[in-house]
Amino acid sequence: MRKLLIIEDDPILLKMYANRFKKGDYQIITATDGEQGFGETVKNRPDFIILDLRIPKVDGFEVLKRLKSTPAVEDIPVAALTVVQKDLVLKDNPDLMSKVVAYWRKDQVTPSEVFQNVEKYLNTHA
């Protein structure tokens, strides 16, 4: 069974995404802020991480930097799921795209589409 970590502070979205992946036989780990998300990553070493960029305590950008600079977890694929437009993110964080395997806008993707993309990624990078 694959492990998925969802780092998302919106309880409704967190539940929607968790439920969709549970149907796909994933073990779901959740975190509602960046500090907790980083800790859960190190503790559980998930197979894939869905990361909101606008989260409390430690924002998603900093979480991503920490993950990619921590040897024990740097190889875990991370996808950004956010409300922020890609061009605005890239303007302030030009190296972001080299650190994520996918970038999804919350208002332009469904949980099923995210599930399909994660499945495709994991199946082709196994």
What backbone phi and psi angles, to 5 degrees, belong to 94?
-60, -25
**What is the tens place of the pLDDT at every residue in 66-113?**
999 999 999 999 999 988 776 666 667 777 778 899 989 999 999 999
> Which CATH number describes the domain made up of 2-119?
3.40.50.2300
Average pLDDT of the chain to the nearest whole number: 92
- Model's pTM, two decimal places? 0.93
